[in-house]
């Protein structure tokens, strides 16, 4: 299969590296996209070895240097990894951190606002709490309880409260046992929750945060998904109210942090 075959379905052999350079998309990106398609289709199974550079170069009708560029792209998106101490490449499922980094970049470049992230979390976090009430194990409950105990001990430390709040939400998400939910909220949470430090610095919100965490934990432990959802909705809503009380602009892009709101 040549590059032209991937582009328009013509006969094998029609594609060549010079032709690829003449198109708007570089040859290595066309090849990377085709390899990604094959991985998603299961033609290149996760855990299996990637064909050699030579065989891929012959197959796509390009030089080995072009194949190496395509491989670098695949490594960057987490679909290929190099075995330690060996030159062998294997197909791999992207790790959460790799996916999260790409999503973060997209959010930042699109000038996403704190309000937009809040709207996303307003949907995801209550769903996590309700799911955790149904699926959480005893270890999950112990970890959440330990987080609350440590929160009680750091009520005068705003920075610690922010870190503990992020940890609390991560633990609730982990208690769902739902990887899709965890992946959906993790990156958004990492971008959003540090902004809570600005609210904490202006308002004495620690007691309200602690109350919400206790109530959410109690509901999860009681297997009461309705109350878990309700208290998480209130908890997420507190951030919006805190921004209003602190006169912070939640409509600001996440790239620059929240500034004082401008009133007409």
pLDDT, tens digit (0-9, with 9 covering 90-100), for 137-172: 999 999 999 999 999 999 988 888 888 998 999 999
Task: Kindly report which listed range (26-40, 57-71, 189-203) carries the lowest average pLDDT score.
Answer: 189-203
Q: What is the pLDDT of residue 201?
A: 65
Task: Kindly report which listed range (39-48, 185-194, 212-221, 224-233) carries the lowest average pLDDT score.
Answer: 185-194
Q: What is the pLDDT of residue 247?
A: 79
CA-to-CA distance for 66 and 62, rounded, in angstroms? 6
Number of H helices, E strands in the chain: 13, 2
Task: Kindly report which listed range (8-22, 45-59, 203-217, 235-249) carries the lowest average pLDDT score.
Answer: 8-22
SS3 state at 37: helix
CATH number of the structural domain 3-91: 1.10.10.10
Helix axes 179-192, 114-135, angle to 10 degrees: 140
Task: Kindly report which listed range (128-142, 209-223, 242-256) carries the lowest average pLDDT score.
Answer: 242-256
The larger pLDDT score, comparing residue 145 to residue 207, is at 145
Look at residues 132, 110, 96, 120 and name the one whose alpha carbon lies nearest to residue 188.
Answer: 120
pTM above 0.75, yes or no: no
Task: Kindly report which listed range (24-33, 178-187, 217-226, 230-239) carries the lowest average pLDDT score.
Answer: 178-187
Q: What is the pLDDT of residue 19?
A: 43
Spell out the domain ranges in the chain.
3-91, 98-245
Mean pLDDT over all residues of the chain?
83
Comparing 3-91 with 98-245, is the CATH topology the same?
no
The larger pLDDT score, comparing residue 165 to residue 5, is at 165
Q: What is the pLDDT of residue 12?
A: 41
Fold for the domain defined by 98-245: 1.20.120
CA-to-CA distance for 237 and 193, rounded, in angstroms? 13
At residue 15, does pLDDT exceed 50? no
The larger pLDDT score, comparing residue 258 to residue 115, is at 115
């Amino acid at each position: 299969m040549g590059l032209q075959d991937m582009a328009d379905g013509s006969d094998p052999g029609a594609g060549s590296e010079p032709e690829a350079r003449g198109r708007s998309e570089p040859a290595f990106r066309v090849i990377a996209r085709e390899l990604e398609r094959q991985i998603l289709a299961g033609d290149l199974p996760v855990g299996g070895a990637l064909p050699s550079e030579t065989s891929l170069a012959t197959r796509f009708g390009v030089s080995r240097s072009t194949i190496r560029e395509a491989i670098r792209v695949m490594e960057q998106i987490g679909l290929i990894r190099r075995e330690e101490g060996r030159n062998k490449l294997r197909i791999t499922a992207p790790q959460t951190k790799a996916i999260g980094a790409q999503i973060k970049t997209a959010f930042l470049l699109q000038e996403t606002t704190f309000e937009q992230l809040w709207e996303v979390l307003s949907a995801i976090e209550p769903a996590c709490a309700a799911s955790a009430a149904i699926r959480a194990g005893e270890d999950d409950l112990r970890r959440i309880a330990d987080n609350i105990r440590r929160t009680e001990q750091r009520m005068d430390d705003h920075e610690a409260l922010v870190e503990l709040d992020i940890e609390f939400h991560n633990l609730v998400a982990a208690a769902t046992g739902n990887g899709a939910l965890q992946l959906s909220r993790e990156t958004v949470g990492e971008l959003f929750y540090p902004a809570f430090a600005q609210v904490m610095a202006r308002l004495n919100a620690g007691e309200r945060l602690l109350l919400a965490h206790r109530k959410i934990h109690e509901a999860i432990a009681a297997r009461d998904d309705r109350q878990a959802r309700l208290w998480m909705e209130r908890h997420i809503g507190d951030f919006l109210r805190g921004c209003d009380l602190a006169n912070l602009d939640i409509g600001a892009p996440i790239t620059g942090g929240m500034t004082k709101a401008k009133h007409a």
